[in-house]
Structure 1
Amino acid sequence: MIEIGRLPNSRAAQAFVDYLKGEHIDCHIEPLEQGVAIIVIHDKDVEQARKEFAHFIAHPYDSKYLQASWEYGDTHTKLDYGAPSLQLFSQFITGAGPVTLIVFTVCVVIFAAMNLGFTNQTYGVLAYFGAVPNTELSQFWRVFTPSLLHFSAMHVIFNLLWWWYLGGKIETRIGTAPLLILLFVAGTLPNVIQYYVSGPNFGGLSGVVYAVVGYTWIMGVRKPAAGIGLPPSYMGFMMIWLALGFTDILGVSVANGAHIGGLLIGLAQGLFDSRKSAAAI
């Protein structure tokens, strides 16, 4: 028996389980302290069940789930998931794993601190070596922590939406370990590159974002069974955005070195993981 996902609402979970039964996938709901877990009985059904779960998260009001409840479950099941705000919060939580959500929250807290009168203190602690006086090599965290700094609302919103969307996909469908590797490798090496390109005054999660973009795209091309992928239009948009960073059109300073470094790291890890997955089958 394998858990394929969790939902905060038991009625929604029951509708999904009823649908899986109609697809001849044996499963059941297991209560948790908060919400419920979806448990698939047979290993052979796990891959299909995970794909169906991803579709359910994206389209919870699809009529096929209500129809399944009438045909295979309780005919009184209603797809009532609570207030709209609760629905949005539930989708936010279930669409990502703990690492994705922790990084998201940390970036929001740091951004809030920098806009509530603690800019100098926050930047002084987290900025790259040499950005502020009296930094020492023993302050090893400074190689990574600039990735958590954001300097405008557009900056933090753009990065965190991509991080939640793609980081959440990677963590919930492939695992926490690949996302942690992407986070720490793409959150450090591109910072070193950016330092040599433009100096120590930079920040943002965009190097990591380009890493998860590259990883998701290459996994979708080489290993579609993994259940993640990036539509060509999305990838095209990110490549155009990358190219625009080398011009003056955006009107802001762009960490091009971090973007390129992160993208290369994500592509490299995606090539490695897709090859490893193929070899294991």
Structure 2
Amino acid sequence: MMRLLGTLEGEKEALRFYSFLKGEEIDCTYDPVPSSEGTYEFWVVHEDKIEQAAHWLSEFKKNPNDPRFDVKEHPIDTEGVAEEEEKEPVQLRALQMRQRVRSRMPLTRLIVIICALLYIWNGYQMADIAKEDPDQEMYSLTPLMTDLSYDMPTAASRAELSKKIFSEDRIGNPTVWDGLYEVVLGWPESKGELDAPLFVQIRQGEVWRLITPCFLHGSFLHILFNMLWLWMLGRQVEERTKKWQYILISLIIGIVSNTFQYLMSGPLFIGYSGIVCGLAGFIWMRQRRAPWEGYPLQRGTLIFLAVFVVGMVSLQVASFFLIRFQIANFSMNIANTAHISGALTGIVLGRIPFFSKGGV
């Protein structure tokens, strides 16, 4: 795995320093930074050379014209490349070298494919329900939803779930945990809802429900938004961690964010956004604690995602007060608890050396 060394300004200076490092037998490459014209970031192939390379970078920045750095330029392929390849632009050769050591991110691709297939499958089931009973509630649950959602009542009660959760009168004998949000919203009349059973199916051994809601999505825009963010963030984490680390990070974030969302809103929530926010939090922390790992996520991207989450939470708070004081029936169907708990979990994991690039 390659480690980010630092940056230099100017193509001539970058090539000069690169040639010097090759002369010092420090395998490296350098790439142009897309967001900053004329800036090049250096990557060192072997971690045991990072301290030596960092020393020379510091010296080079002090005086790029120092005679110590006057060395013959070396081709990128030290094992011998064709003469015509040596004439290729420096940027192209550097990008080609980095591409050869870069992972193909198979796990991120697999997750995207799984989410897409489940979205199509769920869509077919919804269409079948609509054909069989055109008067059916638009929120009726598909078999896939009842099997993969976080928790459900016992199988005998599933037919009553939609009627129970989407009915106007939710007070009475609680058979489905409807979340703390609804309890607080209807307090004190709703305090009996606290007696509803929790983790019904999970306690019966259906532990896959802890993570499977992440792979379900309700609309095309929902899955498109989440998969674009996963493609951006997941690839970066997968490229810089071991495969099992990436899987474990995603599982921990998913389980924690799903559990908190279930406690807050009940069993009906879906989407990968909790893990997406967790990956963003993880990357943000790794950038702060280990910038040499080279996560290229721009600060503006993190700010955009943070503003989006804060905006959704603000709308949720406004919705709560509007409904609580019977001003307007403005309801939100956003898993804000999953977003916040996922981001915080990612930040915590990003502080643990076990999940670092060189972790065990």
Shorter chain as denominator, the TM-score bin is 0.5 to 0.7
Runs of 4+ deviating beyond 3 Å: 20-23, 40-48, 75-79, 131-135, 248-252, 274-280
Distance between the aligned counterparts of 1:41 and 1:230, measured in 2? Answer: 21
Structure 2 equivalent of residue 225 of structure 1: 292
1:206 aligns with 2:286: no
Structure 2 equivalent of residue 235 of structure 1: 302
Distance between the aligned counterparts of 1:183 and 1:263, measured in 2? Answer: 12
1:242 Cα deviation from its structure 2 partner = 0.6
Q: Contact 2:119–2:217 at 8 Å: present in 1 too? A: yes
Structure 2 equivalent of residue 109 of structure 1: 117
**Secondary structure at the residue paired with 2:218?**
coil
Distance between the aligned counterparts of 1:41 and 1:197, measured in 2? Answer: 46
Distance between the aligned counterparts of 2:122 and 2:359, measured in 1? Answer: 47
Q: Contact 1:170–1:178 at 8 Å: present in 2 too? A: no
Distance between the aligned counterparts of 1:148 and 1:275, measured in 2? Answer: 23
Distance between the aligned counterparts of 1:128 and 1:179, measured in 2? Answer: 22
Q: Tell me: CA distance 1:109–1:270, structure 2 relative to 1, closer, same or farther (3 Å).
A: same
Q: Contact 2:257–2:338 at 8 Å: present in 1 too? A: yes
1:262 aligns with 2:270: no
The amino acid that maps onto 1:164 is W
Q: Tell me: CA distance 1:113–1:271, structure 2 relative to 1, closer, same or farther (3 Å).
A: same
Q: Contact 1:207–1:259 at 8 Å: present in 2 too? A: yes
For structure 2, list consecutive stretches of 5 or more residues without a partner in the other structure.
Answer: 3-17, 29-43, 54-74, 89-98, 128-141, 159-199, 319-329
Could you give the per-residue CA deviations for residues 176-195 of structure 1, whole angstroms, max 9, x where no partner exists? 23322221111111111111
Distance between the aligned counterparts of 1:144 and 1:104, measured in 2? Answer: 15
1:170 aligns with 2:237: yes
Structure 2 equivalent of residue 150 of structure 1: 217
1:272 aligns with 2:294: no
Q: Tell me: CA distance 1:279–1:42, structure 2 relative to 1, closer, same or farther (3 Å).
A: closer
Q: Contact 2:241–2:356 at 8 Å: present in 1 too? A: no
Structure 1 equivalent of residue 251 of structure 2: 184
The amino acid that maps onto 1:161 is L
201-210 or 180-189, which deviates more = 180-189
1:268 Cα deviation from its structure 2 partner = 0.2
1:130 aligns with 2:152: yes
Task: Tell me which structure has the larger Cα radius of gyration.
Answer: 2
The amino acid that maps onto 1:98 is P
Q: Tell me: CA distance 1:75–1:115, structure 2 relative to 1, closer, same or farther (3 Å).
A: farther
**Secondary structure at the residue paired with 1:101?**
helix
**Secondary structure at the residue paired with 2:295?**
coil
108-117 or 146-155, which deviates more = 108-117
Show the 5 A alignment for 1:71-86: 73-77=81-85
For structure 1, list consecutive stretches of 5 or more residues without a partner in the other structure.
Answer: 5-19, 28-39, 49-67, 80-90
Q: Tell me: CA distance 1:256–1:279, structure 2 relative to 1, closer, same or farther (3 Å).
A: closer
Q: Contact 1:174–1:226 at 8 Å: present in 2 too? A: no
Distance between the aligned counterparts of 1:46 and 1:75, measured in 2? Answer: 30
The correspondence for 1:97, drawn from 95, 105, 108, is 105
**Secondary structure at the residue paired with 1:116?**
helix
Q: Contact 2:146–2:152 at 8 Å: present in 1 too? A: no
Distance between the aligned counterparts of 1:159 and 1:117, measured in 2? Answer: 22
- Aligned-pair identity (%): 27
Q: Contact 1:218–1:270 at 8 Å: present in 2 too? A: yes
Q: Tell me: CA distance 1:224–1:152, structure 2 relative to 1, closer, same or farther (3 Å).
A: same
**Secondary structure at the residue paired with 1:189?**
helix
1:98 Cα deviation from its structure 2 partner = 2.6
Q: Tell me: CA distance 1:262–1:41, structure 2 relative to 1, closer, same or farther (3 Å).
A: closer
1:99 Cα deviation from its structure 2 partner = 2.2
When normalised by structure 2's length, the TM-score is: 0.52
**Secondary structure at the residue paired with 1:245?**
helix
The amino acid that maps onto 1:186 is I
Distance between the aligned counterparts of 1:138 and 1:241, measured in 2? Answer: 36
Aligned-residue RMSD, C-alpha: 4.0
1:261 Cα deviation from its structure 2 partner = 0.8
Distance between the aligned counterparts of 1:156 and 1:225, measured in 2? Answer: 33
